[in-house]
């Protein structure tokens, strides 16, 4: 049966920054959920969800054997750690922006 | 043969007690203190401009006093980029500390040559930003090339017990002792890729032992108040086990290692350092007992012809000020305060500098992405201004403070601060133009 769950229930994530580029890597806890995030967490989905935050392109890299996806977002940090006026100038909290999305899983 | 590496700091302000514990009980061949970020390096340059003897990590002396005697007892080499903008000044200070501690015959190496500001001019392109140095339109504060493990190697081969560098790529600080111990050649790309993986996993200290990881109820970590820093047990074939002291707090698990594997990584198949283009895309991560995780499978391709240079510019002043509202209607009162502030800064004072106003407790960190549904009853207005002048920065603080009497009801807890800021961009220069130099002081 299919159910809709917060991504945080099935996956964990970490955000990093280099210059004005942010990356968020997300890993499923159970390998059986990898197909769901691979199909549903598309760059288009992130663009739609976080529109004004992300000013540049999003690339996605897949590491299926580790159950992980790596999202690389250009011009995502409002100028980068030294320029941004965001209180979180590193984008450390972007991982939880992603984990707040919902995904459909078959269990 | 297995080499045991430890991490003593993962950033400039990292804790000291886990480092002392690790040197005391970790049976380490080398401990690495990684203490430079894009921001700290630029601040180091400014400190050195004000005082030619300054510009290195302000915690250098405290850290060395605590760990150097233990390093000597246990035969543990200390490798650090705490030299920041003044490695020679830091080495001189380290020699003073060693002398005061009665440590004789210790070789302290300073690695210089990363400062390439003389090679950077107004026409130097900043390809990632699409402009030249001159077009940034701000005074340059400093320019540092990322040196690699090859620059550190002569210091280790000369028998240095302490190596103090400026800007070196973070993983290279760990790769250097591995290259020296195992005799990996500078074009042994698979081994350099494997050693770079070890360095990358270790460079942020507690980020692989449960720090920046714990999420209560989802990812629990024991005893994080006393989180231990990591140990890497590395073999000559580049395979490694990441672990920690058994009774130190924290956790080493497949999950902590996976998160750190991709931390600040873009294409996992092409992690570029001065030493190698490492390939992390086929890395295997396996539990190997309690708080032990084995990693293998990193690859490597030839290193880039150019070195990355961080060019720092004076970023003017960042002014930040806040005032809080609580109880019924807190959000509406904070919103009104923000509207008043914006009207006065823009219309009355004609300030056109970048200004941002957030409601902490409602929507702040993620405000430009989405608005969380909120009936928050404890809300802080936060205003941030990248000011053109000190007068303008002070104006923002004055305007927020004046909301105490002229703004919405019940506003309290005003605070304001003005901090100098720097802006960084990346340039790329041919590695032949960069000439690392090692100088050794013997105590």
Sequence spans of domains, chain A: 2-106
Interchain proximity A19–B285, CB inside 8 Å: no
Checking if the pLDDT of A84 tops 90, the result is no
Specify the CATH class of A2-106 in words.
alpha beta
Q: Helix/strand/coil (H, E, C) string of A37-60? A: HHHHCCHHHHHHHCCCCCCCCEEE
Which residue among A68, A82, A97 sits closest to B366, beta carbon to beta carbon?
A97
The alpha carbon of residue A38 is apart from the nearest alpha carbon of chain B, in Å, by 16
Q: Which residues of A touch B39 (CB under 8 A)?
A: 81-82
Chain A contact set for B260 (CB, 8 A): 14
**Nearest CA among B202, B259, B149 for reference residue B14:** B202
Q: What is the pLDDT of residue B369?
A: 84
DSSP secondary structure letters along B264-321: T-SSTT-EE-SS-EEE-TT-EEEE-STT-EEEE--EEEPPPSEEEEEEEEEEEEEEEE
Query: What's residue B278's pLDDT?
Result: 98
Q: What does the pLDDT read at residue B98?
A: 98
Question: Residue range A18-42: average pLDDT?
Answer: 95
A contacts of B256 (beta carbons < 8 Å): none
pLDDT number for residue A79: 57
Helix or strand run (H / E) with residue B415: strand B412-430
Under a CB-based contact definition with an 8 Å cutoff, are residues B144 and B119 in contact?
no
Instruction: Say which DSSP state B222 is in.
Output: T
**Contact at CB, B368 and A78, closer than 8 angstroms:** yes
Looking from the CA of B40 toward its CB, the CA atoms found within 13 Å total 19
Question: Terminus-to-terminus CA distance in chain B, angstroms?
Answer: 31
Please, which residues bridge with residue A71 across strands?
A24, A60
Chain A's closest residue to B219, CA to CA, is A12
pTM of this structure? 0.96
Q: Which of A27, A73, A87 to mutate to test the interface with B (most CBs of B within 10 A)?
A: A87
- At residue A82 the predicted structure's pLDDT band, cuts being 50, 70 and 90, is low
Q: Does B355 touch chain A (CB under 8 A)?
A: yes
Q: How far apart are CA B268 and CA A61, in angstroms?
A: 7
Q: Which of B268, B356, B368 sits opposite A63 (nearest CB)?
A: B268
Query: What single-letter DSSP state applies at residue B345?
Result: I
Per-residue pLDDT of chain B (443 residues; tens, 9 = 90+): 999 999 999 999 999 999 999 999 999 999 999 999 887 898 898 898 889 999 999 999 999 999 999 999 999 999 999 999 999 999 999 999 999 999 999 999 999 999 999 999 999 999 988 899 999 999 999 999 999 999 999 999 999 999 999 999 999 999 999 999 999 999 999 999 999 999 999 999 999 999 999 999 999 999 999 999 999 999 999 999 999 999 999 999 999 999 999 999 999 999 999 999 999 999 999 999 999 999 999 999 999 999 999 999 988 899 999 999 999 999 999 999 999 999 999 999 999 999 999 999 998 999 888 888 888 999 999 999 999 899 999 999 999 999 999 999 999 999 999 998 888 899 999 999 999 999 999 99
Residue A90 confidence (pLDDT): 86
- Residue B80 has φ and ψ, to the nearest 5°, of -150, 150
Chain B residues 170-229 with CB within 8 Å of chain A: 212-213, 215, 218-219
| Measured distance CA(B313)–CA(B271) in Å, rounded | 26
- Rounded CA-CA distance B97/B63 in Å is 10
One DSSP character per residue, B75-111 reads T-EEEE-TTTT-HHHHHHHHHHHHHHTT--S-EEEEE
User: Is B355's CB within 8 Å of A53's CB?
Assistant: no
B138 in contact with chain A, both atoms CB, cutoff 8 A: no
In B333-367, which positions are buried (b, 16+ CB within 10 angstroms) versus exposed (e)?
Answer: bbbbbbebbeebbeeeeebebbbbbbbbbbbbbbb
In sequence order, what E strands does B102-239 have? 107-112, 125-126, 131-132, 140-145, 162-165, 231-235
Instruction: With CB atoms and an 8 Å threshold, state whether B315 touches A83.
Output: yes
Q: Quick check: B147 and B111 in contact, CB under 8 A?
A: yes
How many cross-chain Cβ pairs, A to B, lie less than 8 Å apart? 119
Over range A70-75, report the average pLDDT: 91
Cα–Cα dist A93/B228, whole Å: 24
Rounded to a whole number of angstroms, the distance from the CA of B216 to the nearest CA of chain A is 12
**Higher-scoring residue by pLDDT: A19, B147:** B147
Query: Which domains are present in chain B?
Result: 2-310+427-442 (no CATH), 315-424 (3.30.70.100)
Backbone torsion region of residue B102, taken as left when φ is above 0, otherwise alpha when ψ lies between -120 and 50, otherwise beta? left
Strands A11-18 and A21-28: antiparallel
């Amino acid at each position: 049966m299919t159910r809709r769950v917060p991504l945080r229930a099935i996956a964990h994530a970490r955000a990093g920054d280099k210059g004005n580029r942010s990356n968020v890597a997300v890993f499923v806890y159970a390998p059986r959920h990898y197909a769901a995030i691979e199909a549903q967490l598309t760059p288009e989905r992130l663009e739609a969800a976080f529109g004004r935050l992300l000013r540049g392109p999003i690339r996605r890299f897949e590491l299926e054997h580790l159950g992980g996806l790596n999202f690389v977002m250009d011009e995502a940090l409002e100028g980068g750690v030294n320029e941004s006026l965001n209180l979180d100038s590193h984008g450390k909290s972007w991982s939880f922006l992603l984990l707040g999305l919902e995904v459909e899983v078959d269990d | 043969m297995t080499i045991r590496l430890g991490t003593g700091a993962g950033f400039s302000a990292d804790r000291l007690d886990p480092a002392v514990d690790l040197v005391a009980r970790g049976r380490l061949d080398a401990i690495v203190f990684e203490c430079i970020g894009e921001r700290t390096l630029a601040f180091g340059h400014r400190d050195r401009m004000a005082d030619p003897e300054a510009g290195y990590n302000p915690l250098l002396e405290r850290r060395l006093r605590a760990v150097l005697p233990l390093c000597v007892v246990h035969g543990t080499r200390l490798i650090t980029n705490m030299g920041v903008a003044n490695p020679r000044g830091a080495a001189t200070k380290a020699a003073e500390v060693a002398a005061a501690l009665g440590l004789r015959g210790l070789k302290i190496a300073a690695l210089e040559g990363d400062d390439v500001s003389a090679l950077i001019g107004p026409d130097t392109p900043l390809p990632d930003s699409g402009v030249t140095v001159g077009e940034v339109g701000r005074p340059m504060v400093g320019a540092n090339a990322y040196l690699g493990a090859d620059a550190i190697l002569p210091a280790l081969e000369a028998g240095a017990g302490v190596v103090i560098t400026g800007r070196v790529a973070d993983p290279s600080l760990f790769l250097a002792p591995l290259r020296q111990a195992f005799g990996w050649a500078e074009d042994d790309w698979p081994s350099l890729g494997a050693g770079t993986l070890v360095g990358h996993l270790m460079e942020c200290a507690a980020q692989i032992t449960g720090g920046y990881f714990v999420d209560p109820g989802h990812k629990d970590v024991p005893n994080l108040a006393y989180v231990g820093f990591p140990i890497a047990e590395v073999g000559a074939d580049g395979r490694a086990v990441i672990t920690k002291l058994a009774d130190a707090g924290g956790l080493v698990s497949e999950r902590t290692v996976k998160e750190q594997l991709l931390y600040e990584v873009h294409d996992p198949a092409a992690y570029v350092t001065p030493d190698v283009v490492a390939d992390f895309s086929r890395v295997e991560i396996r539990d190997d007992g309690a708080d032990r995780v084995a990693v293998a499978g990193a690859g490597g391709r030839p290193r880039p012809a150019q070195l990355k240079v961080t060019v720092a510019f004076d970023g003017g002043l960042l002014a930040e000020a806040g005032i809080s509202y609580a109880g019924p209607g807190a959000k509406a009162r904070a919103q009104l305060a923000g509207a008043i502030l914006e009207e006065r800064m823009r219309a009355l004072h004609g300030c056109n500098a970048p200004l941002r106003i957030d409601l902490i407790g409602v929507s702040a960190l993620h405000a430009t992405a989405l608005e969380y549904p909120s009936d928050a009853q404890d809300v802080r207005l936060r205003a941030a201004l990248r000011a053109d002048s000190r007068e303008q920065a002070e104006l923002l603080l004055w305007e927020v403070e004046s909301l105490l009497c002229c703004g919405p009801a019940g506003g309290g807890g005003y605070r304001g601060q003005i901090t100098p800021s720097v802006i960084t961009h990346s340039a790329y220069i041919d590695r032949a133009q960069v000439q690392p130099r090692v100088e050794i002081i013997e105590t």
